[in-house]
Amino acid sequence: MSEWLLVMVGGAAGAASRHVIDKLGKLWPGDPVIGTFFINLTGSLILGFIAGMRIDKFALPSKFRHFMIVGFLGSYTTFSTFTVASVQLLRDGQATKGILNMVMSVVVGVLFAYMGVYLGGAFRSWRQ
């Protein structure tokens, strides 16, 4: 399968996954950003896990990289949606919620990325 097709299929899967999670997040009473928050965290975790597996020259097949990193995660993660949603919360007079969304997304996102790197490294060690 060509790298272009892998990116497109991965992108479609990431976009569909994001859409489902965003819809489920809107079911959470009174919190329109929970889906975006969850997507940012899990995207950080997945990419961190993949990065952790690559430490010490753990080689990922280029087909996996094109499908998962460029395609799936490229369409799944939501930084632009996160920033616009945060600005809308601020503009709507919900400064506390907007600031909390920004701080928690960045701080917890970095923690999840770190956890992913750690888990990816542990997985790499377990495989060897």
pLDDT tens per residue across span 91-109: 999 999 999 999 999 999 9
**pLDDT (0 to 100) of residue 76:** 94
Nearest to 41 by CA among 121, 100, 110: 110
Q: Of 12-16, 34-38, 40-44, 56-60, which gets the smallest average pLDDT?
A: 56-60
Torsion of CA 44, 46, 52, 53, to 10 degrees: -160
CA angle in degrees (0–180, nearest 5) for 65-113-14: 45
pLDDT in tens, 61-89: 888 888 998 899 989 987 877 888 889 89
Torsion of CA 107, 110, 116, 118, to 10 degrees: -100
**pLDDT (0 to 100) of residue 84:** 82
> Taking residues 27-55, what's their average pLDDT?
82
